[in-house]
A and B are shown apart, each in its own frame.
Chain A
Amino acid sequence: MTMVAEKITIEPVTRIEGHAKVTIHMGDDGKVKHAYFHVNEFRGFEKFCEGRMVFEMPYITPRICGICPVSHHLAAAKAGDIVMGCPPPRPASLLRELMHMGQIVQSHGMHFFELAGPDLLLGFDADPAVRNVLGLASVNPELAVSAVGLRKWGQTIISILGGKRIHPNFAVPGGVNKALNAADRDAMLKDIDASIATIQTGIDVMRGWAEANMEDINKFAVFQTGYFGLISPDNGLELYDGDIRLIVNSGAQMERFSAQNYLDIIAEHTEDWSYLKFPYYKNLGWPKGVYRVGPLGRLNIADKVGTPLASVEFKRFKSLNNGRPVENTLYYHYARMIECLFAAERVRELLEDPDIMSTDILNTRMDIQGEGVGVIEAPRGTLLHHYKTDGTGKLEKVNLIVSTGHNNWAMSEAVDSVAKTYIQGPKVTEGMLNRVEAAIRAYDPCLSCSTHAVGQMPMVVDVYDPEGNITQTVSRGL
């Protein structure tokens, strides 16, 4: 009986947002031939939103994703600002950014502690039955409680502004529907120091883990790509608004452009084995023009970070590869926590802005333009909403490029790379497979967003031989 496996399926991939599966195709030599990252669901928001009103989009599109609904809520409102010809007053933009920072904190915080944390703190090879946030709570209850508190703080900012934590009711084309009062501001400020302390603990955990696991960091999906994301006017880290900067792996800037012109710069490629498309830089073509977005991408394109504590950490990050882009997939977690720190500090800056409690929050002068692109840096990367409407504001065409899409090539590459690095047949262990999942997890993919679709790995992995017989069963902790 041959011991050579043909295909391993990991389904659902857990501790990621949405449904995906991985298939690992084994060669005759017992080595991985190729591993595929499949996003196997499709929902079709782009089509069924046609015929709806553009002002409904900030309320329809958050239903693409319950982890970062605020990103869709705001990108849709920003597209609406342009389509309806009603630029929001400054206080409205500040309040939108404030809500967004709340989301960055809750999403990054949750990802780091609740989703990726079990791998980092309990180990890739820990028992899958306890390799989760509850397991984390029993090992380090204090950290778990702080992590819950961090997410709670971010979600509280969102719910104070938008009435609820998930799928808030806040932004409309032209601005927002609620002003901030002093009591609300104070409620947001109350837990800011504790939250920053938790984030800094997370950064310490990450740095400590990296030092202890430098070998993993350096062999775990390290590869060259371009990097892509919003940038502030002075080339600082930017999460809410601005131009998009695109650099190549050397760090050289290739493009700096307005999202309104995204079609001139990027295009999307399809592969038969995934419902998630693959955006790339048109000038370099497919697949040379692939790039990464999200925390690692954003820190790679930025020359600086505008808040004091995050700025210190950013300098440390930049030294990892001597000022050149950092290429290690596992450093996404580090970049994520630096951004989380930036967002928390930015909350304070915004709350101290003299305009933050202004009631000049809505521009009601509409002048329908019929087309517009809304852009924002969702926690996982650049999110683009492109709408075309008729003269009444009714949608005719919707095109969405979501954060995780930009990272699709990178995740596929990471899955393949990690599978080839860590899976050595014939005996496949659960921990090996968990590392493959961790490659995806590092990108914190939001697969709900991606297919305007959602993904998933089974508890039991069967390894088949070329005749279709089960040669091995890898079970997950039962």
Chain B
Amino acid sequence: MSKPKISSDWMCGCAGCHMSLLDMDERILQVAELADIRATPITDLKEPDEGGVDVGVLEGGINNTANEEVAHRMRKRCKILVSLGDCAVFGGVPAMRNFLPLEESLRRAYVEAESNDSECKIPSDPELATMTKVRAIHEVVPVDVFVPGCPPDPDVIFYVLSELAQGRKPELTGDLLHWH
């Protein structure tokens, strides 16, 4: 039997959850034994396999159209979708942007900021993603496993990935469940 495939991506977060994944230290090699690690932001494949992966892991909330695409693509191509970290699960700190109209945030950064020169303006090139409200992943696509934490502790990530790699659904209770 071939090893289950795992793919991951990050969206509106800080990369801290993926860093916490690296903080499994040597255990990352154990995970690599159990599973086939495919496209991730720290490997060079750009997208989860078109043929599908067993486990898709997403870090970060969804705050623009590009992230929406990432989330939909991952959902479509994975059997089990894991929402990793507080931003993915709740929206997290970046969701504080939802308190304000987008325009105000943009104006502060690109017009009003003390260090801006007089020619500064809000970028609007079509290559840039269109911003949306910041949403938790399950507001956009169905999620199978929620792993909160800012970031989730490496022990939690190891537990979740190794359970999933062995075909079991992880149950987060006790020390494995934290939100901070």
Contacts and interface: CB of A to CB of B under 8 A. Distances in A.
B173 interface: no
A148 B116 CA distance: 40
Interface in A38-64: 38, 40-50, 60, 62-64
Nearest to A51: B99
B42 to A, nearest CB: 6
B125 interface: yes
Nearest to A169: B180
A277 B47 contact: no
A369 B43 CA distance: 47
Contacts of B56: none
Interface in A4-53: 11-12, 14-15, 17-19, 21, 23, 36, 38, 40-50
Given A41-B66, A63-B92, A145-B26, A460 B46 contact: yes
Nearest to B28: A148
B33 to A, nearest CB: 10
Interface string A261-285: 0110011111111110101000000
A134 B24 CA distance: 14
Nearest to B37: A134
A44 B108 CA distance: 8
Contacts of A266: 115
Contacts of B121: 270, 272
B103 to A, nearest CB: 10
A275 B128 contact: yes
Contacts of A295: none
B1 interface: no
Contact of A272 (B93, B115, B116, B123): B123
Contacts of A277: 109-110, 116, 120
B17 A66 contact: yes
Interface stretch (A124-132, A332-340, A412-420): A124-132
A166 interface: yes
Given A63-B93, A66-B19, A267-B115, A477 B128 contact: no
B88 interface: no
Contact of A23 (B45, B60, B127): B127
Size class of the contact patch on chain A: 35 or more
B82 interface: no
A132 B44 contact: yes
A17 B15 contact: yes
A450 B149 CA distance: 23
A229 B87 CA distance: 32
Contacts of B104: 47
B123 to A, nearest CB: 5
A404 interface: no
Contacts of B34: none
Given A23-B127, A65-B14, A454-B12, A48 B44 contact: no
Interface in A225-250: none
8 contacts: A36-B127, A41-B66, A46-B113, A47-B105, A48-B96, A67-B15, A454-B11, A458-B47
Given A41-B66, A69-B14, A459-B47, 5 more contacts: A14-B46, A18-B15, A131-B44, A267-B115, A268-B113
